[in-house]
């Protein structure tokens, strides 16, 4: 039973993340502003810890904006980071 609860809890969290992503897309479409993602979303997308994300911010690798104490990242900057660090396999 505990396994079921953990699995369902994880699935609910995944659904919530997807809903936030959909909401962000819809807001961007309406406003034309860049899609901003929160720290929790970036950690899930990149599968990294708080400390790694803090390092990316502090060394200037990942630009961010802080509004009313909350840190946001532009989706475009995340995509650029991924592309810049992509090491394609020629095999």
Please provide the DSSP assignment of 22-71 as one string. HHHHHHHHHH-PPPEEEHHHHHHHHT--HHHHHHHHHTTSS--EEETTEE
Read off the pLDDT of residues 12-36 as tens digits, 9 standing for 90 and up. 888 888 888 787 777 666 666 668 8
Alpha-carbon 33 to chain mean position: 17
Please give the Cα distance from 25 to 27 (Å, whole number). Answer: 5
Instruction: Tell me the two tokens of residue 56.
Output: 């990316």
The more confident residue out of 42 and 33 is 42
- Could you tell me which residues come within 8 angstroms of residue 69 by beta carbon, excluding any fewer than 6 positions away? none
Percent of the residues in the chain that have a pLDDT greater than 90, as a whole number? 43
0.75 exceeded by pTM? no
- In the prediction, which pLDDT does 30 show? 62
């Amino acid at each position: 039973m505990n396994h079921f609860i953990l699995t369902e809890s994880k699935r609910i969290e995944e659904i919530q993340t997807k809903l936030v992503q959909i909401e962000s897309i819809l807001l961007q479409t309406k406003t034309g502003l860049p899609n901003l993602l929160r720290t929790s979303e970036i950690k899930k997308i990149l599968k990294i810890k708080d400390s790694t994300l803090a390092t990316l911010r502090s060394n200037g690798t990942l630009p961010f904006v802080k509004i009313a104490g909350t840190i946001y990242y532009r989706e475009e900057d995340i995509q650029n980071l991924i592309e810049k660090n992509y090491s394609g396999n020629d095999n």
